[in-house]
Amino acid sequence: MAATHENEATDKGSSTLYPSVSQDDLMAQASKHLVNFGTKFSPDIIVGAKGLYVYTASGRRILDWTSGQMACLLGHGHPEIVATIAAHAAQLDHLFSGMLSPPVVSLASRLCSLLPPSLDKAFFLSTGGESNEAAIKMAKVYTGRFEIVGVGGSWHGVTASALSSQYHFGRRGQGPLMPGTLMLPPPNAYRSPFRRSDGEYDWEAELDYGWKMVDHASCGSLAACIVECIQSSAGMHVLPHGYLKALKKHCEKRGMLLIVDEAQTGVGRCGSFMASTDYEGVVPDILTLSKTLGNGIPLSAVVTSEEIERICAERDFCFYTTHVNDPLPAAVGDKVLEIVVRDNLVQHAKEMGEVLHAGLQRLKDRFGCIGDVRGRGLMAGVEIVANRETKEPEFDVARRVSDRSYALGVWANLGTHVSFGGTFRIAPPITITKSELEEGLALLEEAFASTEGTLPLI
């Protein structure tokens, strides 16, 4: 069923903190005082967020299909999360970093109990970049080496080692990055030149080639490899089945640690609690979490084995921050895990993911500009092309479909950086219902149908 009218908010007053603000005045102040940190701002001022929707100053209600910055796993303003924040803000918010509190211990215990036995030690930071920075430092301290292998198209953060180990965006304009950073080819099944005789993606040959290049470039001090199970920022590219196991073997062969960054894939988003351990059957040496763990509150985690933690402690590993193991965000993370397990949301995400991907495949069958649909669970990428045979990106059509979707009332992030190839990133909260999914799919369908250049097939 297609939507038939522009989206309007019907309950704006009850869903916003700022029911009467001037969009133009705030935009003028933003232009004057806010730093451009590497992105264009949305044309609307957002004055409220509730459930699966955000509300604009102009009175519109927008279906949020990116969970904020892919983080609001349970949706905006979840009542149990709100109650947890309020209680801890009032009575147990922030402590000296060496002090322990019940929510920190509870979160560590609950998280480790949900992971394989060899992931049994955790500590908590604020952002994904921080957690990856800490994991990389831990790998260097444990191995006594310094070279870090990343994967083309990856995104791990903007702190020094995390940024140096990713190959997507933000590396320019600052002089030398961290020494000893090496890159494997991006595992892009849609565009990789590594093909078998039948045209299928030959990821094994590509991976072996990449490690051969790493071995040539290495100075003999390989410490770790860091990887995402789904490269969201590169356009929702899923690691081929078996890739992670092969990567682990390459690391073991060279005496390296494997760091898996599950910032977006962890805590049920992909229809498995962890994409690495549940779906791929691979237990990383160090696991990092962020985004989904805090449901939008700044919270990240580094989880590793007792052996790695012991050796690092003996060698004076230090990652002491103002907000390490803070009680308020830890309480939120603990509550998120409680809700995900209690409400069987991992299975729900798997089932709703099937609805989402079936709907997106129907759109691909109808519109020739959709070159590829990919993802897993409630993570999906829709890549827009000018021609399915040549796979030439079509950024203009993608932008116009994006604008039209937003006008109709659904927000799906469009990446137009060259490493995206013009791909919509879709990652709604895992509490989404079938009817809410169908609502968003109908709005997307109308956006494609009412945009010139989408190459209708039927």
228 among known catalytic residues = yes
Among 120, 228, 280, 372, the one annotated catalytic: 228
Among 12, 425, 436, 446, the one annotated catalytic: 425
Q: Return all residues near 146 (Cβ < 8 A) that are at least 6 apart.
A: 140, 179, 180, 221, 223
Among 65, 155, 211, 411, the one annotated catalytic: 155
d(CA 315, CA 132): 19
Burial of 355 (0-12, 13-18, 19+ CB in 10 A): middle
Contact 345, 433 (CB under 8 A): no
Among 12, 231, 248, 264, the one annotated catalytic: 264
Q: What is the CA radius of gyration of the chain?
A: 22
291 among known catalytic residues = yes
Contact 9, 44 (CB under 8 A): no
Please report, for residues 53, 212, 245, the alpha-carbon distance to residue 411 in angstroms, rounded to integers and kept in the order given: 9, 42, 35
Among 130, 147, 206, 261, the one annotated catalytic: 261
Give the relative orientation of helices 243-253 and 203-217 as an angle to the nearest 10 degrees: 30
Among 121, 140, 248, 291, the one annotated catalytic: 291
What sign for the dihedral angle of Cα 249, 252, 254, 260? positive
Supply 126's token pair.
Answer: 């604020």
Beta-bridge partner residues of 393 = 385
d(CA 216, CA 454): 45
Active site residues: 155, 228, 261, 264, 291, 425
